[in-house]
Amino acid sequence: MRITTIALLIAALTVPAAGDEKPVALKQAPGLDRVEANCGACHSLDYIQINSPFPNAALWDAEVSKMIKAYGAPITDADARVIADYLKKNYGS
């Protein structure tokens, strides 16, 4: 009973916070569909906009590589190139 009450309280406090969240609108450009499908499958696309002032081309390449090699993202080599190009052209420094 106590666990149920705690779970309901947590849910009640979480719903209003999630209600204010707006969907991320990334820049419309070639490759966006692959970014949304591949990157958005595992994490929020907010990370792209939050980190965008910092990465240069090499850092975006490393970031895409890290997602595949370290985190096991199931992204093909062709999609990885498209994703990296999109990020470099639209969110690079």
Q: Which CATH number goes with the domain that contains 85?
A: 1.10.760.10
Please indicate, yes or no, if residue 50 is contained in any of the structural domains. Answer: yes
Q: Give the model's confidence band at 13: pLDDT under 50 very low, under 70 low, under 90 confident, else very high.
A: low
**pLDDT (average), residues 73-93:** 94
Q: How many domains does the chain have?
A: 1
Of residues 81, 82, 89, the one with CA closest to residue 27: 89
pTM of the model: 0.74
pLDDT at 75 over 90: yes
pLDDT above 70 as % of the chain: 81
Please indicate, yes or no, if residue 47 is contained in any of the structural domains. Answer: yes
Residue 88 contacts residue 37 (beta carbons within 8 Å)? no
Give the domain extent around 80: 23-91
pLDDT at 58 over 90: yes
pLDDT at 76 over 80: yes
Please indicate, yes or no, if residue 38 is contained in any of the structural domains. Answer: yes
